[in-house]
Structures are given as structure tokens and as C-alpha cells.
Amino acid sequence: MSAPAHASPNPLPAKGLAVGGSSKGQGIGDQPSSVARNSLWTTSELAAYLGVPVATIYKRRQTNYGPPGYRIGKYVRFKSDDVTAWLATRREGD
């Protein structure tokens, strides 16, 4: 059975999958192929991608730890490229 024609690709890992990696080599710093380059993520999408609670994203913003966010009105958005660059600086063992 195929997906409905109106379904859009989900830029986030499927629920239950470990964000830290998979047998296909997609790790936490690797963007899913369906994410458009420089797409804007919500706080919830970023939290899901990193596998952390949304509250952690807000706490990290208050202490200037985390990827840079962009305030758009009352909302905060994150560029996927900024998230990838920030993750590269957090890599242990390099």
C-alpha cells in the first residue's frame, strides 16, 4: 500500500528511531535527505531531530548554548545548515 498523494515528506526521524545513528549511516549530524537545504525548523522540530525535550532547547537558548536561532515575530526558527554547523563544533574526539 502506498502513501496518499497529499502526504508531504517528514523532515524528522520517524518516531522510535534513534537519532544517534542507524544502519544506513545517518547520524545526529546528518540531515535527512528530505530536508531542504537551509530550511527553517521550529523549536519542536529541532528538539525531535536532536532527541531532546523542547524545554532543553529553550534553556540552552537562555545560556547561549546551542545553534543560533532566528526570531520571527513571537516564534524562533533554526536554519538546518546552522544546526549542522553547530553540531560539528560539538563533536567529541576530534
Q: Which residue has the higher pLDDT, 22 or 40?
A: 40
- Indicate whether 60 pLDDT > 80: yes
Is residue 68 in a domain? yes
- Indicate whether 80 pLDDT > 90: yes
Is residue 27 in a domain? no
Work out the pLDDT band at 76, boundaries 50, 70, 90: very high
| CA gap 25, 19 in Å, rounded | 11
Average pLDDT over residues 15-38: 46
Is residue 11 in a domain? no
pLDDT value, residue 36: 56
Is residue 64 in a domain? yes
CA 4 to chain centre: 25
pLDDT value, residue 92: 77
Q: Which are the contacts of 37, defined by CB distance < 8 A and separation ≥ 6?
A: 80, 81
Grid cell 560539538 is found at 90
Is residue 8 in a domain? no
Tell me: the pLDDT tens digits for 31-45? Answer: 554 455 568 999 999
- Indicate whether 7 pLDDT > 80: no
Q: How many domains does the chain have?
A: 1
Residues of the domain holding 67: 40-89
